Every structure is written in structure tokens, then in C-alpha cells.
Structure 1
């Protein structure tokens, strides 16, 4: 007599291998949120190391294309939701570092160096192990120190531009109360509208849409930029983007082959660096959108969301010129405020990761404070010195004379 209870195989909905409409919608959402939530940070970072408006527009356009191509290639090749993004913490590092010896060409040389190091990581596993061996509290503390100044900017903006600063902050808070994912994009939209409607007297009215053009910058290699920009940028990119990105994918059951990921993102970063584009990397936050069940109930179809997200980034690259113009014509403190709001979540996570282990708390705080101080020697920025001082404190706390026992 047949059973009246259906087996799990009978109750499971039929699987489909075609185009997933939910993955398409999620992919475009990922592109819009990823772009709108941190484009101000990217612009501020590029401007901080000496890029002019044309070079920033070129870098943004090249970034959009490289992120899109990498996501399309890796996700469709490995059939996994591999999302690609720019390094938002790395851009905050550039903003905090400021001008470097050799100007923007030296910064481009640093971008190219980081791209090569990422490729080497894909080919030579010991380098990746060395980066992973950096104590996580120290890496988080360095990141928190980098982000601290920017995260204070929203409140400084209310003092310098009370109306606009308060409007952006209230928008972020109210929208975040009901839809946290849209809080920063809503604040960005309000800020951009204010910039377009209230141009500075020196700039005249906003002239409208214009396609970006690529500006070729010949890389210059200086030891100040290599040590003060390239090395910290590489560490931040690996520790706060690539490693967390792989972890996020693993939590949803995806384990992509790592060497191709680093080789593709590094190679595309190297090709676009001469056009002012910093390094691209695995997405950490938006990766959860593509890899989660909202993208598609069937895990084997979620890779389509990452592909569509890549297409969205390529389309958004066409907005690079208008975005750069609007942002750079606004009061600098307002841009810092928007960037700071976008980074508050990252700052909180980094701070928690830095201090939650009690025995690592003092070295981590040393790293955070030195990094946040802006300390600079011989043209080398504070992020490097923060990691160096914190590492020395970590070694001191863990050093034991031969034959002695820990108490």
C-alpha cells in the first residue's frame, strides 16, 4: 500500500538551470548598493593622494570595468557567487595618508605594486600565509585606526555646514531604522542632490551628464610610496577584503579555487592601474547578498547574481565623470561625512575584532592609536608604523626567556 506521506525528494520543488530572476534582481541591487555606499570614499582616497578630477573620473571608470569583468569571469568560470569590489578600507587608507612623494604617479606605482603582490599571492602560497599570520587583532586595529578620523567626519560636518550635515545624518539614521541596507545610499543621494542644487560660487552650475575618458598616468616608483602606501594597502586589502570575502563564501558553503581569484583580480588591477584605478578584490559585505538565499533558493544558481552585479558595475562606470564632478565640487567636509557614515559599520567591526581578546588588547590599542595619530617618518605613513609598533608590543608580550614558564 503506497504511503500517504511524500518523501523529501517528492516535496522539494523542481530544480531549474535557467536564468534566475531573483539572482538578476539581487545582482543589480549589489551593484547599486556597492557603488552608492562607498563611491565617496573612493573619490576622497584618490583625491587624497593627488589625483585631479579627470584622473579620479578615469580611475572610477577603470575600476567599474575591472570589477565587472572580474566578477563575470570568475563567477561564470567557477559557477560560484564570487563578488568583486573595490577596497573601501584601502581607499580610507589613501585618504588618511595624504599626498606622497612623487605625487599621483607615485600612488599609481603603489597601485601597480599591490596588484603584482596579489598575483604573487595567487602563485606563491607562503606570501598568503604570511599575511594570514598577522595577528587578527593587530590587522583589525590598524583598520580601525585608519577609519577613525573619517568616522568622526559626520559630526564635524554638522559644525561646519549645519544644515547639510544634519540633513545627511538624519537621512542615514531614519532610513537605517527601517532598511539598513539602504541607509548609506539614501544619505549619498541626499548629499548628491544638495551638491547639484547648491554648487559652489567658484564652480558655476552643474553642466549635466558626460561620459568619462581614460587618463593615462605613467607610474613612478618611490620607496616612500612603496613602504607608506603599497605595503599597508596590500595588507589592508588582504586582511579586510580578500580573507573575509573567502570566509563569507565559506559560510554559505562555497569554496572557490583561490589562486585564480588572486590572479584574475591582480592582473586586471595591474592593467587598469595606469588609468588611476586602485586594486580590486573580493567583496566582503555584498558577497553575502549574492551568496545568500535571497539571490536564489537553489545554491547552484546564485553565481548568476555575481555575474549580473558585474554587469551593473560596468554600466555604472559610465557615471564616473558626473559622480566625480558632483562630489569634488561640494564642500570637502560633506564628502568626508558621507564617507564616514559608509564606514561606521566597518569601524565597529574592526574595533570589536581589535579589543575582544584581552591578552592582545594592549598591542592592538597601540596599533590603533599610532595609526590614528597620523605619525609619519621619512615619508612613510602611520598605518605602517602602527602595525610595526603594535607588532613589537605583541612580540614583547609573548616573549618568554628560554626555559621559563608562563605564569
Structure 2
């Protein structure tokens, strides 16, 4: 029982959800508004996303005893914020169902797992390091803007690493909250407790919307989210089979799409927080951090608009600092694994730099292109 309520597990789960919501909840608001959604629709979208991420994160983590964390498709939400302009809500829901059905097909027939089987561990580690690099760098850019706040968190974190390694991240976060509150940097005056309610929208299907919205939503979710999400698991030594993970996220999308659950996928950045040594020194116990993240997802779903406003009340520097500190160990381990094999070092370096660059081609993010370029370099370079 004491292991279940470990402070490090709970803190890692909370920080994962905090980072996820503060970095992209606003995009979900924009996507729902683009389809003409009312305040009730926006609340329903957040309800569906929270419930879906709770069910898949808790269920898959407990079943596989691995830190499987799911998330909404952030690039998918960004695509919807642009692509749903002028599209009726019912057609948008039809596109969500279409994208989730394609995800289920990929999972059931093992197409995604067959592709990922050919990705070397060094490239998976380089991909993870590239995805997380901007969070590590944001720690130091936030230090320049809020020297006292971030400097104190930085000092407390490394003091904790020296004497209380299990509690380094929780202590840094606590100090950050106290300093931010004392400095008047937390603006929670407009936050009120409001329960979100599901709103059913009967789907309709339009060929143009399915091709113009549904198909791109499927592609960016698989390429920009599930590829790095599975790479995070592999880079941290978890050999959880991909097909059931992909299948269940797709099934969850099918069930919750009528309420606004546009796409569910494996998390990458937030999952790395739950897989870090700060969550638990024992990799076999880190799944408990993902279970706690799932519990926090449940609350964010039930009180969607309230939680989004609460997270938004925290200073950006605090969020950037705690994310960077929580991911330092994972970034270091990933870089070490990526560059360890001299024969694959150049390909891993290309993957890391391309992914960290944030490049985007044809609407697909840098994680996909970094992995693809790394595989090409690995193919054409002679093996010594």
C-alpha cells in the first residue's frame, strides 16, 4: 500500500499531466471552437479526453506493468484548429471516428509494430533525446527570465539529488509553488469549480471531410505521436507489445469520438517523466507513476475547464523549470544510449539533431522526419 502512495510516483504523475495540459490545452479549445463548438461542447471535449486518457493509462499500465501513458494528439489538435473551420460539428465527429478506425486497423493487423521492429535502440534513444531537448533548454531560458524562482528550484533539485534523490523533483516543485505564491505570480482569482458534462453529437460523414481532416488526423497522430511514444518505451527498456497499445487507443477513440475525443495515442514527453529515475529508481515500479497520471487525468476530465484554468494560472517559468528538471536524467540517459555504439553514432546524431530542430514537412512533425533520416543514414553508411 505504501508503494502505491509513494510521493515520487504521485509527483511524477502530476507533473506529467501538468506539462501536458499547460502546453496544449489551449489548442484543444481552439480546435473545438473552429468547429463551431459552444462552451458546453468544449467542456465535453475535455471530459471525453480526460476520461479516455484515464482509462487507457491506468488500464494499460496495470495490465502490462509498464509506464504506458496516453495523451490526446497535440499535432492533431493543431491540425483541427485550422482544418475544422467551416466544418459542421457532426462531420468533424465523423472524421474523428474515421481516424480512430484507421488506428484500430493498424493495431489489429500489427502494421505499426512491424515498422517499429526495424528501429535500432540507438535511434529510438536519439529520437527521445531530440523530443525532450527543448524542455531541457527551456529550463535555462526560464532561468534568465525568472532568476530567483528558477534558480531556487534548480538549487533545491540538485541538493535533493545529493541527499534525497527520490524527492528531488517534488521538493523543487514545492519550493517553486511557495515562491510563486509569495511573489503573487499565481493568478487563480478567475478559477471556479465547474463540473464538465458530456454532450453527444451524432456523426455524419462527408467524403471531403474524411479525406481532408480524418486522414491527416490519422497520419499526424501515428507519425508524430505514436512513433516517438513507442520509442520512449523502447529507449527506457520496456518491450511492451505495440499492437495492443495502438489498438486500445483507437478503440477508445471510437467510443468517445461522439463526445469530442478526437484522437488518443501514446504519450512521449509526458511519458518520459513517468519513466525517469526520479519517478522510481526501480524501472519495474515506474508504472505506478503512469497510474497516478491516469487518476489526475480523470479529475481533469470531470472538471475540464476548471483544471485548464487552474494550470493556466501557474507562471510559465515554473512549469518550464519543473518539466526540464524532471526530464534531466532521461535526456542524459538517452544521449548516452544513442551515442554508445560508434557504428550507429552518426545516424543517431542525425536523428537527434533533426528531431530537436522542430522541423515540419507536409504537416508532419520533426520526430517522424528525424527517425526517417536516421534510418536512411544507417542504411547508406558503411558498417565498420
Establish whether TM, by shorter chain, passes 0.5.
Answer: yes
Of the three residues 218, 223, 231, the one matched with 1:231 is 223
Note closer, same or farther for the CA distance 1:243–1:73 as it changes in structure 2 (3 Å cut): same
Offset at residue 33 of structure 1 (A): 3.0
> Partner of 1:377: helix, strand, or coil?
coil
**Residue 354 of structure 1 contacts residue 364 of structure 1 at CA under 8 Å; is this kept in 2?**
yes
User: Which position in structure 2 is the counterpart of 1:390?
Assistant: 374
CA drift of 1:51 comes to: 4.0
Normalised to the residue count of structure 1, the TM-score between the two structures is 0.66
Q: Report if aligned partners of 1:114, 1:233 keep a CA contact under 8 Å in 2.
A: no
Asked if 1:355 corresponds to 2:339, the answer is: yes
Q: Is residue 82 of structure 2 the alignment partner of residue 103 of structure 1?
A: yes
In structure 2, relative to structure 1, the CA distance for the partners of 1:246 and 1:43 (3 Å cut) is same
Q: Give the CA deviation at 1:358.
A: 0.7
Q: In 2 relative to 1, CA 38–140 (structure 1 residues): closer, same or farther, beyond 3 Å?
A: same
The answer to whether the 8 Å contact 2:113/2:242 transfers is no
Tell whether the 8 Å contact from 2:230 to 2:242 is kept in structure 1 after alignment. no
1:154 aligned onto 2:139 = yes
CA distances 1:167-194 after superposition (whole Å, capped 9, x unpaired): 2222332333333333333333444455
CA offsets 1:285-338 (integer angstroms, 9 cap, x no match) = 56998997997xxxxxxx999989866764575565554323323443432222
Match of residue 157, structure 2, among 137, 149, 172: 172
Q: Look up the match of 1:65.
A: 51
Give me the whole-angstrom Cα distance separating, in 1, the residues matched to 2:300 and 2:28.
24
Alignment of 1:29-68 (within 5 A): 32-47=10-25, 49=27, 51=29, 62=48, 64-68=50-54
User: CA–CA distance in 1 between the matches of 2:147 and 2:59?
Assistant: 46
Deviation per residue, 1:335-374 (Å, 9 max, x gap):
2222222222222232122211111111111111122222
TM-score, normalised to structure 2, is 0.69
Any conservation in 1 of the 2:223–2:364 contact (CA below 8 Å)? Answer: no
Kindly state the Cα deviation for residue 384 of structure 1 after the two structures are TM-superposed. Answer: 2.6
Q: Does 1:128 align with 2:113?
A: yes
Is 2:265 aligned against 1:279?
A: yes
Instruction: List runs of 5+ in structure 2 lacking aligned partners.
Output: 33-38, 86-91, 204-208
How far residue 84 of structure 1 moved from its aligned partner, in angstroms, is 4.0
Aligned twin of 1:381: 365
SS of residue matched to 1:375: coil
Q: Which sections of structure 1, spanning at least 5 residues, go unmatched?
A: 1-20, 250-256, 296-302, 399-405
Q: Decide whether the 8 Å contact of 2:13 with 2:291 is kept in 1.
A: no
Whether 1:85 aligns to 2:69 is yes
- The answer to whether the 8 A contact 1:211-1:319 is kept is yes
**Aligned-partner SS, 2:69:** strand
Q: 1:246-276, CA deviations, whole angstroms, 9 ceiling, x for partnerless residues? A: 43x7xxxxxxx87555433432244446346
Aligned partners of 1:108 and 1:326: how far apart in 2? 28
Which secondary structure does the structure 1 equivalent of 2:4 belong to?
helix
C-alpha separation in 2, matches of 1:271 and 1:264? 11
Aligned to 2:88: none
Equivalent residue for 1:187? 172
2:247 to 251, 263, 282: 263
Which whole-Å CA distance do the structure 2 matches of 1:35 and 1:363 have between them?
A: 33
Computed over aligned residues only, the root mean square deviation of the Cα atoms, in angstroms, reads: 4.9
> Between Structure 1 and Structure 2, how many residues are aligned?
356
Q: Secondary structure at the match of 1:279?
A: strand
8 Å Cα contact 2:355-2:367 kept in structure 1:
yes
Displacement after TM superposition at 1:62 (Å): 4.5
**Contact 1:28/1:308, CA 8 A, preserved across alignment:** no
